Amino acid sequence: MTANANRYSTYTNTSVGSGPDSSKNEEKKKDMWSSMLDNVASAKRLPEKNLLVFGGTVESQREFFEALSSNESRRNLDRAKDKTAPIANSYALGYTYYDLLDADQDDILARVSLYLLSNPSPSFTSLIKPLLTPQSIKDTLLVVLLDWSQPWAWMRQLREWVLLIRSVIASLSLECKDEMEENMMRWRDRGRGGSSVNLDGTEAISTEGNVALPVGQGEWDEILGLPLCVVCQNAEKMDYLEKSQSWKEEQFDLVLQYLRTVLLKHGASLIYTSPTLDTPLQSLVHASLGIHSLLKRAPLKHNVIDRDKIVVPPNWDSTSKIMVLRDGFDVNTVGEGWSIDIDQDFPMPPKSNGVNGADDSIPDPDAASEGGVEDPEGSAVVLYESQVKDSSLDSLQLAQQKQDTTRLEVQGANVQEFLATLVPRIEQEKKVDEEEGKEFAQQGSGTDEVISDHIGPVQFNMGGIQVDADDMVQRLKDRQAYSQTPEPAATEEEDDRDPKKPVDTERLAQFFGNLMNRKPTAAGK
């Protein structure tokens, strides 16, 4: 019994020993659990992407957000989950967001935050600056919205937004600028052999040593520091321009050539969208943000043939492709002019007014109200506006030298003044009507004969007897004339008894003279 009490387990001794090896094992277990928890937390943490949406109106920005966040497959699977966040963009800098789901609708790939700005005012630069940090730059995309209702204003609008962006970037810290430069270098190498991943997430064709292809003429000359995408909305209005303003294919191609030339200098992308057409807007924007599906990777294809379905991805376009679209377009002149345009101060000063010897330093209020600016010499904006015009305003431009789009094209006159001007015209028309009535009354007697000569005889059947209407009417007239024939002329004695007839004094004197000179007869003795 005593021997058994002194026995002990060697397993227990080795497993719960207090030696140095046991403390090491415990530390390893703690490191293993902490690493597993960190992996789970990082897996649940959503990647955050930012979209800076500039331009457009409140309604067009909402349409862009709906087109970007809509998901038909998710909507058909579960309507309860199809809840879009509210959008607040009526004042200053707007904001909204949406979660991007994978192809199986189960995994959330990223959360996309949209910052919306409609007015390129310098006072809003302080709102944009905090959004650009060294950590958020690589996950940020610039989007400029244009509308096909006013294609003649595109270049001027695009210049204002580029100047705004450059003014914000100039005020950033040196660390942010260095991060922007590295980010744009990575963007420039995508699709050129210098990167292992293309824009759409597909693997790039490897070259020897992963050496990037050289940049062509006019490409990436004006790097903004952030990737840029230009979205031209409401492409269905191209048909309206063709029908109402007689636009031809040459004008549509000219607008496209200008846009592609300008965006080529920034390494930007371009797409036309329409509510009635299915466009790869989601694929282009999400690929530009670096969001790729884990299950389905469709290549992003370009399209420069269909005029209302244009898609120009980054690093695809070149000067030679732009010149092939339509002959006679000078890519170099437009590119150099655009470099001059964006090398101006923001905001650009309004046009000066030196009419009648006035001081040129005094700004023209009409020009300022129109958003007019003093365009530099050789400006691509001026060249564009001289070739792409709003033909509906041609008549107005001929009538007045200065165009004010805030005023009515036709000013309505006062009602009483307008009616007063009509009184002389009414009196004149009344006199003309009276003279024509008199002439018609004088010519009324011969009107029946003229009409009867043109009409000819009129006959109809009455009880089996063919009757001539003209003959019957004539007989009725003759009978009526016969019934109204005056009585025979009265005799002389009746005329003498007529009291109304004047008295013949000579005959009366002769009558009484005969009575006095009458001799008595035998009976009168």
> What 3-state DSSP class applies to 205?
coil
The full length of the chain comes to 525
Report how far residue 251's alpha carbon sits from residue 242's, in angstroms, rounded to the nearest whole number: 10
Other C-beta atoms closer than 10 Å to the C-beta of 334 total 22
Structure tokens at 387: 């070739």
pLDDT for the residue 10 = 43
Q: How far is CA 46 from CA 63, 98, 110, 187, in A?
A: 25, 12, 6, 23
**Dihedral class, residue 35 (left if φ above 0, else alpha if ψ from -120 to 50, else beta):** alpha
Pairing status of strand 48-55 against strand 140-147: parallel
User: Is 432 within the bounds of a domain?
Assistant: yes
Distance of CA 401 to the CA centre of its chain: 25
Torsion of CA 278, 282, 284, 288, to 10 degrees: 170
User: Is 479 within the bounds of a domain?
Assistant: no
Q: How far is CA 77 from CA 74, 81, 82, 99, 109, in A?
A: 5, 9, 9, 16, 18
Give yes or no for a contact between 129 and 171, defined as CB atoms under 8 angstroms apart: yes
User: Is 162 within the bounds of a domain?
Assistant: yes
Give yes or no for a contact between 100 and 111, defined as CB atoms under 8 angstroms apart: yes
pLDDT for the residue 445 = 54
Per-residue HEC secondary structure of 141-167 comes to EEEEEEECCCHHHHHHHHHHHHHHHHH
User: Is 132 within the bounds of a domain?
Assistant: yes
pLDDT for the residue 392 = 67
Task: Give the sign of the dihedral formed by CA 32, CA 34, CA 36, CA 39.
Answer: negative
Task: Give the global pTM.
Answer: 0.64
Report how far residue 184's alpha carbon sits from residue 71's, in angstroms, rounded to the nearest whole number: 31
User: Is 482 within the bounds of a domain?
Assistant: no
Report how far residue 102's alpha carbon sits from residue 296's, in angstroms, rounded to the nearest whole number: 8
181 and 276 housed in the same domain: yes
84 and 184 housed in the same domain: yes
Q: Which of 320, 339, 358 is the last residue of a domain?
A: 339
H or E element that contains 183: helix 174-189
Give yes or no for a contact between 470 and 458, defined as CB atoms under 8 angstroms apart: yes
Count: domains in the chain: 2
122 and 240 housed in the same domain: yes
Give yes or no for a contact between 194 and 186, defined as CB atoms under 8 angstroms apart: no
- Please report, rounded to a whole number, the percentage of residues in the chain having pLDDT higher than 70: 66
Look at residues 387, 272, 383 and name the one whose alpha carbon lies nearest to residue 338: 383
pLDDT for the residue 25 = 64
User: Is 476 within the bounds of a domain?
Assistant: no
Report how far residue 454's alpha carbon sits from residue 448's, in angstroms, rounded to the nearest whole number: 10
pLDDT for the residue 1 = 43
273 and 420 housed in the same domain: no
91 and 202 housed in the same domain: yes
User: Is 484 within the bounds of a domain?
Assistant: no
pLDDT for the residue 492 = 52
Domain ranges, residue 168: 41-339
Report how far residue 98's alpha carbon sits from residue 164's, in angstroms, rounded to the nearest whole number: 26
pLDDT for the residue 89 = 78
Side-chain half-sphere exposure of 92, counting CA atoms within 13 A: 7
Q: Which of 294, 312, 339 is the last residue of a domain?
A: 339
- Would you give the DSSP letter of residue 352? B
423 and 326 housed in the same domain: no
pLDDT for the residue 80 = 45
User: Is 7 within the bounds of a domain?
Assistant: no
Give yes or no for a contact between 161 and 248, defined as CB atoms under 8 angstroms apart: no
Place of tokens 């050129």: 192
pLDDT for the residue 13 = 44
Structure tokens at 265: 């200098």
Q: Which of 424, 441, 458 is the last residue of a domain?
A: 441
- The low-confidence residues of the chain, meaning pLDDT below 50, are 1-17, 73-80, 194-196, 206-209, 352-371, 398, 401, 524-525
Tell me, what amino acid is at 261? T
